[in-house]
Every structure is written in C-alpha cells, then in structure tokens.
Chain A
C-alpha cells in the first residue's frame, strides 16, 4: 500500500479544518479542567469531613470510568432525562470535568511535596491557612505540579478523538470518515499522527521552557 501524494493534498484542507476544531475542544476543555481540578482538590481539604468524602468519591468515580462512556451518556442518554446539550458543549464539559479530576490529583501530589517545615514557618508568622496556600505552598507546589499539568495538556489534546463518538468533527473523526469513504487509511492516519506531533511538540517544548523559567524565578539551583 504505497503513499499517494495527490490524495494527501486532496484531503489536506479537510484535515486542517478539523485540526482547528480539535485545538478549540482541547483548549477550552483544559481551561475548564484546570479550574475544576483546583476546586476538587481544595474540596478534599475542607474542615468538613463530609464534604471531603463526597468530593473524594466524585473524583474517584469520574476518573475511574472511561471518558468514552461518559460522553456517550451525557450526549445520548441524558436527553432522555431532559438534559440536552449540543455536541460541542457536552464534549467540552465532559472532557473538562474528566481531566479536572486528574489535575486535582496532580495538585494533591505536588502539595505533599512541599516540606512540612514551610507550613510551620507560616504558622509562626501567623498566616491564615488560605494565605499560606496562596503565597507560600501553592507557589512551591507549582513547579512540582508542572510536569504533570503539562502531561494532561498534551493528554487532553490527545483524547479529543473520543469526541468523534458524539459527532464532533475533530481530526480523528475526519480521518475515520475519509478512510471509510475512500478505503485509504495510510494517508489519513499518518497525517493525523503527523499533525498531532507538529502541534504537541512545540507545546511540550514550551512547557519545558516554562518549567525552567519558573525554577529560575524561584532561585532554585538545577541538578
């Protein structure tokens, strides 16, 4: 099965248009996830045990069930109970909530990476808990969380193909359609892979830069 250039050029416009959709879905989804994640993480550290447990269970449920199935339910089953969201809204909300639960775990791990002695210093200076988080703990947790957060930025982008099941015409959806219409899979799939690469590579590099910059800003010595 040899590579056909003219076919490649022929489908390129459709692929690029789909790429736009993919980026949009991933971008908005990630923004939602970052915020939701923070809420879910703090929701597990409130003084109220009940709240903590409830939030914990929500996180566990969402993150331990497949996004694919969640999308199916939100889009196809929820309407039978009167909740009818557009493919796009349903898609981005679901993916955002889903990755929000992951990020909440990333945040948690990072927080535990901040030495206990830093909390003690804040006590001694009589900072309020909220303030301690905002100015002392989170800034130090941030560099620890960055690699994980980067992972999920790339990850959410990578998972947008799942939106195909509910008919959001992103890259994979288009590649499948093209493949199925023309029965040539080599070009569409290879192009998808390639497009994913040329988008996620610079992203990842940017994240590296960011990590380094943050460390420098915090006067850390690199090993």
Chain B
C-alpha cells in the first residue's frame, strides 16, 4: 500500500500512542527534576553521610542500565510483593534513572559559579540554604540548561522503552501495527518522524526559550 494510504489508516492510532508518550514524558520529567536538585545538592553537602548517600544513589542508577532497572521494577519487585502498574513502573524507572544524571549536571553547574559569589552571599550573612536558593542556583541556570535540555530530549526518547512493559505508547503502537502489516520501514520511519517532530518543534523550542530567559536573568543578553 502507498505511504499515504498507510498514514491515513494508522496515523490516528500512532497519534493516540504519542499522547501516552507525552504523558509518561511529563510525569517522568517532573520526578527527574526533583531528584536532580535533591541529590545534586546532597552531593555537595559537607556532611559525609548525606554526601555518601547521594553518591551511592547516583552511581547506582547511572551505573545500571535503564532497561535493567525497568525490568527490575516491573518483573522482580512483584516477586518481593510490590506490584506497580506498568505506567507507574515506567515513570518511576525513568525518573529515578534520569534524576541521577541530572544530579551530576546540577552539581557541575553549582561548582562552576565563581567563588566570589559565595563569599559575597556569606558576607551578607545569608544562611547556606538562602545562599543556594537565592544566589548560586539562579546563576547556574545558563550553565545547566544546555546539558539539561540534552537530558530531557533523551528522556523523551527513553520513554520508548516503556513499550516493553505494556504501556501503550508510541513505540508500542508502532510494534503492534508492524506485527500486523510487517511494513517495518514505514511504521518505524513514521514513529521516528513523530518523535522528531515532538522534540524539534515542541520540546527543544521550549528549552531554548528557557535558556534565553536564563541568559537575560544574569544580564548576559
């Protein structure tokens, strides 16, 4: 069948799958952002216990593949008596995993803020928390955002993995259609384009806008 026919027949289903992909994406991102900040800051704590915990967490989740974590949460946790729905399993795995990567980015950004800024904040007698929240973190945005944007785009793509645990997302639908039509090139080609469109014309412009915002905030632009 021609590609046009193909689209007219299957695009609706692919679109509904894309909807689910976006859902997973948003939930996972929120979780990941929270974890990034939390553990990124913990990594910088002078308290050995806190820092240690963060390091262990980060290295564990960066160290083992997302796929393995996904399978663990979905197939092995139930054996230990904890059964989560596929959606929750997927979001959890994605959030925990990407949070670990985000934490490293946050840490790197914070450490590259000039020392003079800490000193000035300290000289104004701001509490460590205030120093971080009001002075240091805002200045890290321009540094953090490009790599963070990378990570978000990666996360969008990583959502494809939740298809493996029966979440009916774009990739899942694509596989279904392929299994009945066996038009692999068309099916996955279309999926590829849909992912690209989502990233290129929605996600990335949004992230760029954030970058510009941050740059203006520090009076660079």
Give the A-B contact count at a CB cut-off of 8 A.
Answer: 149
- CA–CA, A150 and B107, complex, Å: 13
Please choose the segment from B6-14, B26-34, B67-75, B82-90 that sits at the chain A interface, where 4 or more of its residues have CB less than 8 A away: B67-75
Contacts of A43 in B (CB 8 A): none
With contacts A64-B204, A72-B188, A144-B112 known, is A161 near B146, CB below 8 A? no
Taking a contact as CB atoms under 8 Å apart, the answer to whether B76 and A105 are in contact is: no
Q: When the two chains form their complex, are residues B64 and A67 in contact, meaning their CB atoms are under 8 A apart?
A: no
| Given the contacts A73-B188, A223-B115, A197 and B64 also touching, CB distance less than 8 Å | yes
Interface size class of A (residues with CB under 8 A): 35 or more
Task: Kindly report which residue of chain B lies nearest to residue A203, judged by CB atoms.
Answer: B63
Q: Is the CB of B65 within 8 A of A192?
A: yes
| A143 contacts B112, C-beta separation under 8 Å | yes
Complex CA gap A196/B68 in Å reads 10
**Interface flag for B105 (CB, 8 Å):** yes
Bound-state CA distance A155–B158 (Å) is 12
CB-CB < 8 A to B107: which residues of A?
Answer: 147
Q: Which residue of A lies closest to B114 (CB)?
A: A115
Quote the shortest CB–CB distance from B101 to chain A (angstroms). 5
**A189 adjacent to B68 (CB under 8 Å):** yes
A window 1-42: CB within 8 A of B: 1
Option from B145, B160, B189 in Cβ contact (under 8 Å) with A66: B160
* A105–B196 CB distance below 8 A: no
Known interface pairs A154-B63, A196-B65; 16 further A-B residue pairs with C-beta atoms within 8 A, sorted by A's residue number: A65-B199, A67-B157, A68-B160, A69-B160, A77-B185, A109-B147, A144-B143, A148-B104, A148-B108, A148-B150, A189-B76, A192-B64, A192-B68, A223-B111, A223-B115, A223-B118
